[in-house]
């Protein structure tokens, strides 16, 4: 179960809304979150491959 995601989102959203005023800044924020998700996905896949159930 992933419980930290909603907490992270609730903390990040006010920061993005306050600081990302232009479309370009908003897109950079979206790109950063997308990259973070890609890295996390790769990490979890590696852990799953290293420690099969």
Specify the pLDDT at position 45. 96
- 5 within 8 A of 12, measured Cβ to Cβ: no
The length of the chain, given as a count of residues: 53
pLDDT at res. 2:
65
Reading phi first (left if > 0) and then psi (alpha if -120 to 50, else beta), residue 22 is in beta
Q: Are 31 and 41 in contact (CB under 8 A)?
A: no
Inform me whether the pLDDT recorded for 49 exceeds 60.
Answer: yes
With tokens 């159930």, the residue in question is 53
Q: Identify the band that residue 6 occupies on the pLDDT scale cut at 50, 70 and 90.
A: confident
- The answer to whether the pTM exceeds 0.85 is no
Q: Tell me: the pLDDT tens digits for 17-35?
A: 999 999 999 999 999 999 9
């Amino acid at each position: 179960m992933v419980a930290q995601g909603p907490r992270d989102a609730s903390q990040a959203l006010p920061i993005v809304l306050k600081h990302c005023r232009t479309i370009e800044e908003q897109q950079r924020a979206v790109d950063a979150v997308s990259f973070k998700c890609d890295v996390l996905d790769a990490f979890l896949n590696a852990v799953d491959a290293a420690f099969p159930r």
